[in-house]
Amino acid sequence: MTSIRLPAGRGLESYTPSGSRIPLRTRRHPPRSRRAFAAVHVVADPRATDDPVLAPAVDWDATLAFRHHIWDLGLGVAEAMDTAQRGTGLPAALVRELVERSCRDAAARGAAIACGVGTDDLPATAPGSPPVPITEIVQSYLRQCAMVEGERGQVVLMASRALCRTARSAEDYLAVYSTVLGATSGGVILHWLGAAFDPQLTGYWGSNDLDEAAETVLQIVTQHADKVDGIKISLLDADRERALRARLPAGVRMFTGDDFDYPELIKGDGSSSSDALLGIFDAIAPVAATGLHLLDEGDLDAYDEVMGATVPLSRTIFEAPTYHYKTGIVFLAYLRGLQSHFTMLGGHQGARSIGHLARIFRLADAAGLIQDVDLAIRRMLPVLASSGIDGRASS
């Protein structure tokens, strides 16, 4: 079968995938001109019999196999980040096990790994309850930093929902980040995750005004430049990223987290450029690796063509509500044969409509990510059937 019927508006239309225009390589050396991490997803255990919300279960073999897929392509792994359903299905106990297992595999092959450090090991607070004391937030950060550094991972200091709820001013953020950064061995990547990705982080850094928030971030980075490797910004605002990038102290990197405009931000403007720590690189890893090597070679036209073809796909995966992007990421891993099922922690495979998934199917094909057309169609058919749609093409 080489065609499939996909939703189009309220009806169905026949679609014939073209397949990848060029074979996608499965092994590459790391790029020379940029540092690049893929923020990776976890693979749920589809055979788990417990409640997927109350007792989420991870398929460890499949989860680690996906990390080796990323390393094989020369990319680093950003572990236990938002893409791994941190805060939306992956509990603190599994975060620790995930970091331990992935860091062990990274060390065995000498691969790059950076791991998210948050405060999600704090007890959940009910609405209306008192905020968590600053001292407990600091201790939570310090525990997780020690755990990641103990496993020889690079620390990504993630935004804290607890801190956002407790802090009363920018000074609270300055105090917390100063204490935590001072206790690390260095090489920390800060993460500014915007409210589009997590509404509970609205007003982070002590202000709803992003210009004011940027000043606080810059103050933290400047005061602790000896401890900070870089900062990842996930605001989906390319101009704001460029503006902050131009003001960073020498030696501090900008890691783009902009899943809308990453090709141009990575390419740069002639005076500066961004490295990459992106959730979309989970989904487009082989194409991203190709693009980065074209950038190494100075072939900017080919880079633009390869990377530009992925932008419509990424903008669809990350469209509002942006925090449901993980569904599209996992769907593509399933579609491309990188995991055997389309099941997510907490049942989040149902967070996007069948029309949305059909658009991802078409755009992944246009981006050159569908290598095995027959496999992709076979895997799409039961997804359609779960919504009552017979996607089999007429003979």
The predicted-structure confidence for 266-308, as pLDDT tens digits, reads as follows: 999 989 999 999 999 999 999 999 999 999 999 999 999 999 9
Q: What is the pLDDT of residues 127-169, one digit of tens each?
A: 778 899 999 999 999 999 999 999 999 999 999 999 999 999 9
Residue 252: pLDDT over 90: yes
Confidence class of residue 394 from pLDDT cuts 50, 70 and 90?
A: confident
For residue 303, how many C-alpha atoms fall within 13 Å in the half-sphere facing its CB? 18
Q: Which helix (H) or strand (E) holds 140?
A: helix 134-150
CB atoms within 10 A of CB 142: 15
Q: How far apart are CA 33 and CA 300, in angstroms?
A: 13
Residue 217: pLDDT over 60: yes
Calculate the average pLDDT of the chain. 96
Q: How far apart are CA 43 and CA 219, in angstroms?
A: 38
pLDDT of 49 reads 87
In angstroms, what CA-CA distances link 101 with 60, 268, 350?
Answer: 9, 35, 28
Residue 282, amino acid: D
Lowest mean pLDDT among 87-91, 201-205, 221-225: 87-91
pLDDT of 52 reads 85
The DSSP result for 2-27, as a single string, is --EEEEETTEEEEE-----SSPPPS-
pLDDT of 265 reads 98
> Residue 254: beta bridge partners?
231
Nearest-10 crossing angle of helices 170-183, 210-223: 30
Q: Which residue has the tokens 């331990």?
A: 100
Q: What is the pLDDT of residues 82-102, one digit of tens each?
A: 999 999 999 999 999 999 999
Show me where the domains of the chain are located.
4-9+29-385
Q: How far apart are CA 10 and CA 335, in angstroms?
A: 23
pTM strictly above 0.95? yes
Q: What is the pLDDT of residues 15-41, one digit of tens each?
A: 999 987 777 888 999 999 999 999 999
* CATH tag for 4-9+29-385 (out of 3.40.50.720, 1.20.140.10, 3.30.300.30, 3.20.20.70): 3.20.20.70
Q: How far apart are CA 245 and CA 252, in angstroms?
A: 9
Asked whether the CA dihedral 360, 365, 370, 376 is positive or negative, the reply is positive
Residue 353: pLDDT over 70: yes
